[in-house]
């Protein structure tokens, strides 16, 4: 990585993170099986109640891996404009999803997994958020720790 | 995901994968700890002898997770132009790296981790490669299986 622009301050980085969460349609989600096999896939999402709401087939490794610990790593942006989120995911059945959440997902992404038994929702609660672009932004990349924004 | 362009054929997808491997500077690499904690980070790479050569600090989870099974998942491109590689990674000390590989890394990426004891190389051998853009390309996304190109 090379230094291209001045490092952003923490307030700007947080705003850029919030912009990504509001505007982006997709993210990368990494999970791990209980015995240490990684999985990495792109999924669409919607920001819902300060969580990320995704959907995937219940038999996909991403959904299976959520049990038992629910640990996930999510990135938005590209490799030189990284938003990295450490979070906990839970599987939510469509029938258990609040109507507003299901509606928000359907409106944002143009399709509705509710009523499709092969699909489940994943709700990811962020615990840590980091944001950086180039090497000059590695310092100060931590924006949320233990679920609390530092800025 | 929405359907935007006609699905590419397998030959075109393979060529696009090879182009990504030759031209891209960065990738996303997902690993997992032995007890199932995922890790996802962006790293720079160079294509070297049909493997992907990366470098990271030896104490970073990405390097630590390579032991014992070495299973990694790598993606290139963005979420609507995905190259997904399942591979095995091995840790290679700079002192054990062939000179041509170390030179290729240094020339491509503009810095040289050899002689920096905090850093190690990771060499990833692809076993499976998939490539797809939108939902209409999910069928036929498998291009390499068990280390062999299907096309």
Per-residue pLDDT reduced to its tens digit, B51-71: 999 999 999 999 999 988 899
If DSSP codes are grouped into helix, strand and coil, which group holds residue A5? coil
The residues, any chain, with a CB within 8 Å of residue A77's CB and separated by 6 or more, are A20, A24, A83
Q: Is B17 helix (H, G, I), strand (E, B) or coil?
A: helix
User: Could you say which residues of chain A have pLDDT below 50?
Assistant: 1
d(CA B131, CA A15): 33
pLDDT value, residue B30: 98
A88 touches chain B (CB under 8 A): no
Residue written as token pair 């906990």: A88
pLDDT given at position B68:
80
Do the chains contact at A40 and B79, CB–CB below 8 Å?
no
C-beta neighbour count of A39 within 10 angstroms: 22
Q: Do A44 and B71 touch (CB under 8 A)?
A: no
Residues in A closer than 8 angstroms to B39, CB to CB, are 30, 38, 73
Cα-only R_g, chain B: 16
User: Is 0.90 surpassed by the pTM of this model?
Assistant: yes
Mean pLDDT of chain B: 95
Query: Do residue B75 and residue A28 have CB atoms under 8 angstroms apart?
Result: yes
Per-residue pLDDT, A67: 85
Using CB atoms and an 8 Å cut-off, which of residues 54-83 of chain B contact chain A?
65, 69, 71-75, 78-80, 82
Residue B100's pLDDT is 97
Pick from A48, A4, A6, A8: which is nearest to A131 by CA? A8
Residue A90's closest CA among A75, A70, A74?
A70
**What pLDDT is attached to residue A2?**
52
Map tokens 């997994």 to a residue: A113
10 Å Cβ neighbour count for B34?
13
């Amino acid at each position: 990585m090379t230094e291209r622009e001045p490092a952003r301050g923490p307030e700007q980085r947080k705003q850029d993170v919030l912009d990504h969460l509001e505007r982006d349609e997709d993210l990368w989600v990494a999970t791990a099986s209980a015995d240490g096999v990684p999985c990495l896939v792109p999924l669409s999402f919607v920001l819902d109640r300060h969580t990320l709401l995704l959907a995937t087939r219940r038999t996909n490794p991403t959904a299976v891996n959520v049990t038992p610990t629910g640990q996930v790593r999510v990135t938005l942006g590209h490799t030189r404009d990284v938003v990295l989120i450490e979070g906990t995911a839970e599987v939510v059945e469509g029938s258990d999803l609040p109507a507003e959440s299901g509606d928000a997902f359907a409106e944002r992404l143009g399709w509705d997994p509710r009523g499709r038994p092969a699909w489940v929702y994943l709700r990811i609660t962020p615990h840590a958020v980091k944001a950086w672009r180039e090497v000059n932004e590695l310092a100060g990349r931590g924006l949320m720790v233990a679920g609390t924004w530092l800025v």
